Structure 1
Amino acid sequence: MLQQLSAEELPKVEKEISDFINTYTSHEELKKSMLYSIEAGGKRLRPLIILATVKAFQKELTTPVYQTAGALEMIHTYSLIHDDLPAMDDDDLRRGKLTNHKVFGDALAILAGDGLLTGAFQLLSETTLSPSETVLLIQLLAKAAGIGGMVAGQAGDMAAEKNQIPLKDLQAIHHRKTGALLTYAFVAGGILANQTEYVAELLETLGGHIGLAFQIRDDLLDIVGTTEELGKQIGQDEKSEKSTYPSLLGLEGARQALAEELGQAKIVIHQLAEVAEFQPQIFEEVLTLFDLEK
């Protein structure tokens, strides 16, 4: 099912993004910069989770679903452009290609990120969903991406460089930096599938476990993976002297932590199957994306 969603439905999400950028961006070089990072590829994990969640609850994929997924991918891509800048992570590669600022310069890269960030909310505001659903999706996305979510997580991540921090502090950083947008993907999918508040709470819990699993896997791949697997240069965490799960727990401890988060996620999936018309197989496929071997 995931392979089918990726092959047949993700292109519709990508079309929503490219159509939006081509329609509204009046500066040609800015447009090129935005499309460069959007079209750089990647797993499209966050929009895929929205699509998978809607399908798991046996609902139809509609234009508002594609637009919501597109808005989330725009936010994610903006964050990557800004994270890669010399003032932050100073990365040269992203998704196997030169980072945006290496091609277009720092100033235009910043503006491209700004354009994707603000454009995401414009795209989301233009859906045909009810006003209450639209406002809720916008509010939750602003919270997930903003000063209590992803932005705060990035600030905490930078502050933790060259410092060994306790595990609970590292988890708090990554709940925000990585987990917030992944959690939004599950919760937004539930809203688009007209699910109850209780189901939304379960989806939020699931997103928290998936967010930590994603980060633990990412930390491990920075040591045991390849540049091709990671999509960026390996060894950057050690170079930046960042606190990571392997640095705090060791390689085997980090592997065990990954398995524990995925195990907790499976429990939540079984709970969802008990309270809603829900196809757990789709979410079980999602979990395989976070196996270290993938």
Structure 2
Amino acid sequence: MKGENLLSRFAICLLIVHLIGVGDSYADTENDRNPDASSWKEPSLITLPGRSSDQVSDGHVFTGFPGANSINFIIKNNCPYTIWPGTLTSSGPAFPSTGFELAQGASRTLTAQPSWSGRIWARSQCFMDGGRFVCRSADCGSGQVACNGGGAIPPASLAEFTLNGHGNLDYYDVSLVDGFNLPVRISPRAGCPSTACPVDVNRICPQELSIRDPRGGIIGCKSACLAFHQDQYCCTGSHNTPKTCPPTNYSQFFKNQCPQAYSYAYDDTSSTFTCGSGSTNYVVTFCP
């Protein structure tokens, strides 16, 4: 009888595991960083294999359980046009989708291991050109809808995350260090603070920082580092410390528009936010 009871309990445990959706592991895809992205932070977490899945829906799709096996990123498009979000992993298993189309008003859920670290952004004005998929704003250079390890070509507004970091905390921020292309908000679902750049910076972008489409519309606002390639703006060379790379007039322009967002490389104190690891899913909304 004891043997039968043990077998019965084992079968029940297997059924519970199946119901909560634990899946097969897969190896880290070892995505390379984008060398043009000055705000990229080196991964600090150990890469672990794990479960990941995604679904498409006009509404929210829940595909995991915070604190158990996965964290959900609900990516929403509130822009009055189609966008093409992209993802880039720096640590942990990559999302199964590194780029996809998202219609106006739609959302898509991507599921990550609690060890994930990386960034999410959105491309716009995308089209096929000679068999290659290209975007005028924040393209990743892959020639496909999927970015396949390619990062955003600046200027690009970035939602950056490090899950399960120091002190068992998730760290997240909105970064304009690589410039701006679309408004974006990060909203944890567990009552932790949100952060955003909700303003359309393109509308007031200085002429010398502006990126225009063929019709003359401004579709991106470059960082001073990207525009001028000078150490004082890039926090490189003799300006590679917080003491020698203070805010500039250009970084202050971005900070004035979006006080919660990173405006330059050492803008940590007012721009990094935390939430208890495994305690929440995250909503990333473009054009909030």
TM, length-normalised to structure 2: 0.27
TM, length-normalised to structure 1: 0.27
Q: Select the structure that is richer in strand.
A: 2
Q: Select the structure that is richer in helix.
A: 1
